[in-house]
Structures are given as C-alpha cells and as structure tokens.
A and B are shown apart, each in its own frame.
Chain A
Amino acid sequence: MATVRIPTPLRKFTQGKDEVTIAAASVRELLANLEATYPGIKERICDETGAVRRFVNVFVADEDIRFLENLDTAVKDADEVSIVPAIAGGR
C-alpha cells in the first residue's frame, strides 16, 4: 500500500494522523479510496469536476503529478504520495 502524507489542515479528517496507508494503482483510485476511508477529505483536495484543486499539489515519489499523468499517474506500493496545499499563515 502507498503511504499518503496528510497536511495539517486535512488531519481533522484522518483523526489527526499525518500519514495513512492506502491501496491504489493510480492517483485517481487513491483519492477515491482515501475518501472511502476518511469521508470528507476528497472535496478539500478535488473540485466538483474531480480535478485536483489549483491551490493543491499532489506528488508521487516527489514528482508533481501535473508533470506526469495527472490523476492517471500510477501509484506503486512503496510510493509515498504527498498532498501539499498552499498555506498562508505567518502573522
């Protein structure tokens, strides 16, 4: 299963876990399975069309999926998948 790194703003959906493991063959399947396990999380990552939101990046093994096959990017068992939203704090 792939390891998915969960950013701070989304940990409320994963009971505070910063890493979860999800079985999937592609990013699209991974996001669907992530939603099945942690309901509500996918809409924070994807818009109503299913595309990854423009202020969120998804990386498979440190490669931006926009430079790969986007949602069809393959995911292997040993892969680490990172979800990285823009943040703005600092005050």
Chain B
Amino acid sequence: MTPDVQFVVLGAGGLGCPALLGLRAGGARRVVVVDHDRVERSNLHRQVLYDLGDVGAPKAEVAAATLRRAGLEAVAHPIKLTPEAFGPWLSGFEPDAIIVECTDSPALKFACNDACVAQRRRLVLGAALGLRGHAIAVAPGSACYRCVFETPPPEALTPSCAEAGVLGSAVGVTGFFLAHLACALAQGQALEAVGRLYELSLGSGIIRTIGGRPRSGCRCRAVHPTESPVSTTAVFT
C-alpha cells in the first residue's frame, strides 16, 4: 500500500487519466487533480476517466468526482497553469507531495522541473507522442529533466499529437508507467530509477533507460551542489 502521500497530478488528459487510474491501482489515497480544460467528445477514447455524459464539464472536477466515488480523497483545481506563476503556486502544497506532470506543454514541463528542483520536491514527469513515451522520476540530489534535455523544444519544431499522431493505448501505457514511478517513489522503492529517462518505444516493445548522471552545468547542480548522484546500477530489480 502506498503511504499517505499527497499526489498532485498536473493535466487530466490522455496521460493524466491513466496516471490517475494507476495511482488508484497503486493504493494512493490523496490526490489533487489540476486541469483547466473541459471534456471533449473527440478525446474520450484515450481520456478514459470520462464518458459522453461528461462532455463540456471541467476535467478536473469530473476526474476528482470519479476518484472520490472509488474512495479516494480527491480535490479538483480547475485552473490554468502558467510557467511564470508555477513556482509560487506549487509552494502551497505539502512539502512531501509527489508531483506528477502530465500536461502537453513543453514550457510547463521545464518550469515544473525547475520548481520541483528548487523546492526539493519529488517529481514524475512524462510525455507521449506517436508510439513513444518518455517518463522520468526526479528526487532531491538526482539528475533532473534538464540534465537530459537542456531546454524545451521550440513550438515550431514540436509536432503536436494531431500532426504526428498518437495511439491512445500508448499514452495509456505511459500514464500508467508514470503512476508506477510515483507510487514507487512514495514507497521508497524507486531510488535506483530516479534521474533516468525511460523511453518507451511501444512500436518495437523496447524500454530503454537514458542518462541517470547529473549533467555538469545543469541548474540542479547549483541547487544541490554537495549531494552525490544516486546509484545508477540496476533498476527495478
């Protein structure tokens, strides 16, 4: 059973819905759902917490209500997050909360990484496109998302799901994997997984791990200059 940790899930769409279900499966008891968007009919196949009766309703409210019916303590924050205001907003949550980043905004992902590093928070961050998913867990002292990717890609070079395509089940696997990492972090079982980027190549069925070492010059090293990197040996043994 996952300890009584608060999970703050940013984004309740294609990644966030399976992540929330995965947290429920992992035994999470307290969840905050953050999303400013409303349920759309065209996304229902992959946004699996919603049905036709929810079209037009705020995703955060519907998702939280669904989780409450399953016995979780779930709170909705139907607000629009911005990179500029992210850090101060995040500081209002419990210090040991685990942040699960599931938005589709490159700028927000990096702002979330930076705020979590600065506030010494545990973070799980992911993305999915086509048949590929990325997932990384970050904890104080570990390599962070910026150790792997130094800057967000410019929008002009970032294909959207509409352009590159996305398979709902691939997003679902990635979202559930994020929840798995978050639950493992909560249980203290993911120490060897933090700081590594997992690349899920769901066309070939290959899961690769990338990185694991803090990058010299990364801003997380300025925040944690004296901390040793975590072990980079076996993962999920």
Contact = CB atoms under 8 A, between A and B. Distances in A.
A90 B171 contact: yes
A16 to B, nearest CB: 11
Given A18-B203, A55-B150, A62-B208, A87 B132 contact: yes
Interface in B167-208: 171, 174-175, 197, 199, 203-204, 208
Interface in A35-79: 44, 53-57, 59, 62, 64, 66-67
Contacts of A88: 104-106, 109, 127, 129, 152-153, 158
B119 interface: no
Contact of B128 (A57, A59, A90): A90
Interface string B124-143: 00111111101000000000
Contacts of B208: 62, 82
A53 B153 CA distance: 9
Contacts of B134: 86-87
Contact of A55 (B153, B164, B166, B204): B153
A85 B129 CA distance: 11
A55 B151 CA distance: 5
B148 A57 contact: yes
A55 B156 CA distance: 13
Contacts of A56: 149
A33 B158 CA distance: 24
B210 interface: yes
A45 B141 CA distance: 30
A86 B210 contact: no
A84 B129 CA distance: 12
Contacts of B210: 57, 59, 62, 64, 84
**Interface residues on chain A, size class:** 20 to 34
Contacts of A57: 148-149, 210
Nearest to B208: A62
Interface stretch (B7-15, B65-73, B75-83): B7-15
A89 B161 contact: yes
9 contacts: A8-B159, A54-B150, A55-B157, A84-B210, A87-B129, A89-B166, A90-B171, A91-B43, A91-B103
Contacts of A91: 11, 13-15, 43, 103-104, 161
A90 B215 contact: no
B46 to A, nearest CB: 9
